[in-house]
A = this chain, B = another copy of it.
Amino acid sequence: MLTENGGSVPSRPPALREQRLVQTREQRQRLDVDCNSCAMAQLCALGPCDAQPCERPNRAVHGVRTVRRGQSLYRAGDSFQSVYAVRAGSFKRVVMHRDGLEQLTGFDIAGDMLGIDGISTGTHACDAIALEDSSVCVMPFVLLQSLCREIKEIQHRVHQMLAAEIVRESSQMLLLGAMMAEERVAVFLVDLSERWQARGYSACSFTLKMTRREIGSYLGLKLETVSRMITKLQKDGLIAVNGKDIRILDPDTLRNITAADRQ
């Protein structure tokens, strides 16, 4: 099954041969993958493990794959072989339904893991689409599993990674099920801010890689509502907005936005 495909284009089979070629070329890149010198090591599931001098992680990394903006790393229904660590760029994960109902379930940036939705059934449950030209480390799951059986600490990290995703989704359910529109947008911005900060970037100034529509799909809102709430936060002096550039002016107040009355 094809794993590479246009993201925004609805028609699937425009140039099958060429896409196949692109995929092969990408997967052939084996470059200089060295986990010990990776900038994302601290965040990666295979990051520095204190117990060992650690040439080990490299063993699980099969290579690097690049994905261009709008193309998919994998699609729902693709057979599951590997998980991926984002080296550079960013992705969105989208779950679909019959009759065009769709939901953006997550944004992944450098240091995040992708593909774990395929573990349970052996088939990916969502599409992972690059928001910009991106690259990932490919980790065949069978290799990762055997590494888990050998090295206790890596086993623990993988379990933590899976469980962390469960907790993250729980708070997203809280957001979707119980928060008002303004609160959702505020939480979204604070969350992004903290994630950039954890990666060594500025917490108060960053660029959105996604459109208003994508933010809306993630937050359970329409794009117009997202736009209105962003405007409102700006009018209230909590953020400064210029298109996709966001500056957070008052993080404390932003963090404390709640529905005014709540018993």
- 6 other contacts beyond A148-B149, A158-B159, with CB at 8 A cut-off? A103-B174, A103-B177, A117-B163, A121-B164, A121-B167, A125-B167
A95 at the interface (CB under 8 A from B): yes
C-alpha spacing A44/B117, complex, angstroms:
20
Q: Which residues of A are interface residues toward B (Cβ below 8 A)? A: 95, 97, 99-103, 105, 116-121, 125-126, 145, 148-149, 152, 155-156, 158-167, 169-174, 176-179, 217-220, 258, 262-263
Determine the main DSSP class of A at the interface with B.
helix
When the two chains form their complex, are residues B162 and A163 in contact, meaning their CB atoms are under 8 A apart?
Answer: yes
What number of copies of this chain does the assembly contain?
2
- Residues of B near A177 (CB, < 8 A) are 103, 176, 217-220
When the two chains form their complex, are residues A173 and B172 in contact, meaning their CB atoms are under 8 A apart?
Answer: yes
When the two chains form their complex, are residues A100 and B263 in contact, meaning their CB atoms are under 8 A apart?
Answer: yes
Known: A155-B145, A258-B101, A263-B100. A174 touches B117 (CB 8 A): no
- Residues of B near A174 (CB, < 8 A) are 95, 97, 101-103, 105
- Residues of B near A179 (CB, < 8 A) are 101
Task: Give the Cβ gap from A114 to chain B, nearest Cβ, in Å.
Answer: 12
When the two chains form their complex, are residues A173 and B99 in contact, meaning their CB atoms are under 8 A apart?
Answer: no
C-alpha spacing A130/B219, complex, angstroms:
30
C-alpha spacing A119/B167, complex, angstroms:
9
Known: A178-B101, A220-B176, A258-B99. A169 touches B169 (CB 8 A): yes
C-alpha spacing A49/B116, complex, angstroms:
23
Known: A160-B119, A176-B220. A166 touches B166 (CB 8 A): yes
When the two chains form their complex, are residues A173 and B170 in contact, meaning their CB atoms are under 8 A apart?
Answer: no
Known: A103-B174, A155-B145. A117 touches B262 (CB 8 A): no
Q: List 23 A-B contacts (CB under 8 A).
A: A95-B171, A97-B178, A100-B262, A101-B179, A102-B174, A102-B178, A103-B173, A103-B177, A118-B163, A119-B159, A119-B162, A120-B164, A121-B167, A159-B162, A162-B162, A162-B163, A166-B169, A169-B169, A169-B172, A176-B177, A177-B218, A177-B220, A178-B217
Interface core residue of A105, A173, A220 (most chain B CB under 10 Å): A173
When the two chains form their complex, are residues A160 and B120 in contact, meaning their CB atoms are under 8 A apart?
Answer: yes
Closest-by-CB residue of B relative to A165 is: B166
C-alpha spacing A90/B120, complex, angstroms:
23
